[in-house]
Amino acid sequence: VSKTQISFYNRHMFAMASGPWRRKKDWPRQFMLVSFGLAHRLDSPRVAMASEPYPHRWTHHVLVDRKEQIDAELLAWIDEAYRFSNQKRRKEKI
């Protein structure tokens, strides 16, 4: 937990939740930004932004402004990010 976000780790950070300390003009006034890393880019209208900081490592940002948006789909993406992070760890040990 830091001043601007809550980070979730196994050995590596795989997800973050942060408040609206930086927001774009067309985003809701109140929201939580849920961010996570995957090996591929998600093609979903729920993804507000995505970037590839390293080859085959995509960071996705999803805006959550209603509790109903913390649903099975979002939790599945976070679970996938957790598993992706674990794979990264195994590859580094080889």
Q: Which domain holds residue 78?
A: 5-93
Which residues are CB-neighbours of 8 under 8 A, at least 6 positions away? 14, 15, 16, 17, 78, 82
Specify the pTM. 0.84
Give me the helices (H) in the chain, please: 72-93
Alpha-carbon torsion, ordered 46, 34, 40, 13, to 10 deg: -170
pLDDT band for position 4 (50/70/90)? Answer: confident
Q: Residue 8 CA to chain centroid, in angstroms? A: 10
Q: What is the pLDDT of residues 6-54, one digit of tens each?
A: 999 998 999 999 987 666 777 777 889 999 999 999 999 999 999 999 9
Structural domains in the chain (count): 1
The DSSP output letter for 41 is -
